[in-house]
Amino acid sequence: MPRTPVQALAFLAGLWLALWLLLPFWATPASADAARGEGFAALERQIFERVNQTRSRHHLVTLRRDPALDAVARAHSEDMARRRYFSHTTPEGVNPVGRLQRGGVVGFALAAENVGMTSRPDPTAEIHDGWLASPVHRKNLMAPAFNTSGVGVAVGPDGTLYYTQLYTSVPRP
């Protein structure tokens, strides 16, 4: 504990210098944020492609990816990761259809959602295989009526990945 003003100033200067020197180790520069975002885009693309491969093997229509659905799915994954919950319904009681409506998504006849979380080394396989093993999630993934989808992945403070995939049925062009 500093006992004089000079010691206090020296202490504060030393603390400031230490923090300034250590800042690069815990700060996330914009390029790291971009790389993290690209990593999530890759994970989102991988789960989307794997789901479409499964649907194709079962002679189901492949899903078309919709950026508006991606945004709603990503926001839900980010919310779960940030607030550390895991559910189709937010703590305030908003369900997937409510989130779609709040996100400005209109014109769908049916909607469903799969969520998953993992910290395993091959997250895409873990999530995909988990969804296929769960009767409810498998039913969503394999529903013939769905023709559009959106995917969002986010990471929690502990490194756990949160996945959300939305499925909708919209009139075909």
**pLDDT higher for 10 or 56?**
56
Radius of gyration of the chain (CA): 22
Question: pLDDT value at position 77?
Answer: 97
Handedness of CA 156, 66, 165, 168 (dihedral sign): positive
CB 56 within 8 A of CB 62: yes
Question: pLDDT value at position 3?
Answer: 74
CB 150 within 8 A of CB 114: no
pLDDT at 25 over 70: no
pLDDT at 67 over 70: yes
Question: pLDDT value at position 31?
Answer: 30
pLDDT at 13 over 90: no
Question: pLDDT value at position 39?
Answer: 74
Cα dihedral 125, 126, 128, 131 in deg (nearest 10): 160
pLDDT at 93 over 90: yes
**pLDDT higher for 136 or 10?**
136
